[in-house]
Amino acid sequence: MTLSLVLQAIFAGVTNGIVYAFVGMGLSAIFKGSRVINAMQGEFAVIGAMTTVLLLTKSGWPYPAAIAGGVLAGALVGAFIEVAFVRYMAKKNASEDSFLLLTIGLALTLSASILFFIGRDGHLLPPIGGEGVLLVLDAVIQFHALWLIAIGIGATLLLRAFCHRTTVGLSMMAASIDADGAATTGINVGRMRTYTFILGGLLGALGGILVTPLISVDYTLGLNLTLKGFAAAVLGGLTNPLGAAVGGITLGLVESLAIIGISSSYKDVVAFSVLIIIMILMPNGILGRAGRRGG
Amino acid sequence: MLEVTSVSAGYGALTVLNDISLKVDDGEAVALVGANGAGKTTLVRTICGLLRARSGRIVKNGTDVTSAPPHDLARHGLAVVLENRRLFGELSVRENLVLAETVGRKVRRGNMRFTWDEVTALFPVVKERLDSPVELLSGGQQQMVAIARALLLQPDLLIMDEPSTGLAPKVVKDILLVIKALRERGMGLLLIEQNVGIAAEITDRAYVMAVGSIVHEVGPGEWQSFLKDERLIRAYLG
């Protein structure tokens, strides 16, 4: 195992990890804001990526506008799911199990709809920043991966600033911490829950768009991303979107190092075995008890 | 003025409040006393819109607020310090207060009854700990943050549910001093309290609750005779 191979694995791990982080942050934001475990979080990624592909290839939109359209599509689907289903079920005091079943059903429905309307073919988006690569000690890094890392870090910092420096972000946090306390402080708790779904949809879609130049997107991608995003969120403490970012990068790195250490066939087995060990040793997530707090 | 007329409410099949009526005039301080399980907190939750009244009316300053959502309370000049304070523990003191101040500014359109400086001056300890996460504060300090947060909603009537529970006597004394100062500024008060001694010290009159109903009223100037009446105290307050 050479240094350049390890370096290559680390870059690949961070790149994949940031995609998992986006899905995990969205999942965590929705769980924190509504106590719904969103089993269709990976589908937001597929919606964002597919919308961008269609706007770019079928409608001829410029790439940045198509990306914006893809992100918007994720956000709108998030809002729709909250308003059409979650809000109604919450009024009826539905249990957490019912919400889980709802989102599993929606994930399968969306996946089937994509298969029906768009087909089973995979689609790729052009890399952001062009096809160029950077060589670091013989390790090859695509420009797109650098963009992905930069956007990932930027989005995480923006999310942190949004949560703590804007009234809407603070209100969303307050509503998720104590709904009654928030309501009697003049915060419309129902509206904040809609916003968390919009945020979850937006983050998931952005993750999907950023990964599509690296992995082709098709109707099956959602489930895989949901599982990875869920692992990332649990690793980070589940109720802390920023913890999910750390969890995503950890997962990506473990997975990537498993490939060079053992075999790509066993990467998921090794990665999830390591994650199980981490969770046994650190049951509150890799950030500890503090990871269960904050945004 | 707050007027609750013939209100009934409950949870599921259980009816907790039966035909409750009470009134708090502008600037008046009224206590609601009763033993554990009398329904005091359920009444507070119903007035605040956290629990829907099954029948009856709740009117604030002439507006029917029976079906108003809880986030509209401040618009009607009402603020509540719920039992157990219900602060946002992960957020800092400042963040807790900023949220209320933002709502208060919208409600009063800048014509504030309580400015940030006035509120933090009332609670020096709050001012000192503005950047601390609320969950790291003591129970007494949290109670002060909860009252400060309620005041920044710019109410003319403050509802306080068991503000003295679990607090050291010195802290209770400090909080009572603040409540007295608020009363001097004309703030109306509905105090829900198990400790009748505290209720008698800061309110003009009281309603006594037992098993979901108002069973007795203590009128203005009647606190002392009520406190001396062991039969009534035993019967209603345990």
Q: Where are the beta strands (DSSP E) in chain B?
A: 2-11, 14-24, 29-34, 55-60, 63-64, 78-81, 157-161, 188-193, 205-210, 213-218
Cα A190 from chain centre: 23
Q: Provide the 3-class DSSP secondary structure of residue A57.
A: helix
CA dist., res. A211 & res. A219, Å (int): 14
**Picking from A23-27, A66-70, B63-67, which range would have the lowest pLDDT averaged per residue?**
A23-27
pLDDT at A293 over 60: no
| CA distance to partner chain B, nearest, from residue A188 (Å) | 6
Mean pLDDT of B207-228: 90
Contacts with A164 from chain B: Cβ below 8 Å = 95
| CA distance to partner chain A, nearest, from residue B72 (Å) | 6
> Which one of A167, A184, A294 has the shortest CB-CB distance to B90?
A294
> Which one of B69, B75, B89 has the shortest CB-CB distance to A177?
B89
Are A186 and B71 a contacting pair at CB < 8 A? yes
Are B99 and A188 a contacting pair at CB < 8 A? no
> Which one of B50, B88, B149 has the shortest CB-CB distance to A177?
B88
Phi, psi of B34 (to 5 degrees): 170, 160
| pLDDT recorded at residue B19 | 94
Query: With 0-12 CB in 10 A as exposed, 13-18 as middle and 19+ as buried, what is B21?
Result: middle
Do B79 and B150 meet the contact criterion of CB atoms below 8 Å apart? yes
**Picking from A48-52, A181-185, B102-106, which range would have the lowest pLDDT averaged per residue?**
B102-106
Are A185 and B103 a contacting pair at CB < 8 A? yes
**Picking from A152-156, A279-283, B84-88, which range would have the lowest pLDDT averaged per residue?**
A279-283
> Which one of A177, A184, A187 has the shortest CB-CB distance to B90?
A177
Are B82 and A180 a contacting pair at CB < 8 A? yes
At B111-162, the pLDDT tens digits run: 678 889 999 999 988 889 999 999 999 999 999 999 999 999 999 999 999 9
- What was the ipTM of the complex prediction? 0.92
Do B68 and B49 meet the contact criterion of CB atoms below 8 Å apart? yes
Give the number of A-B residue pairs with CB atoms closer than 8 Å.
Answer: 75
How many CA atoms does the CB half-sphere of B224 hold within 13 Å? Answer: 1
Query: All domains of chain B, ordered by start, with CATH?
Result: 2-237 (3.40.50.300)
The first and second tokens of residue B80, run together, are 């509540």
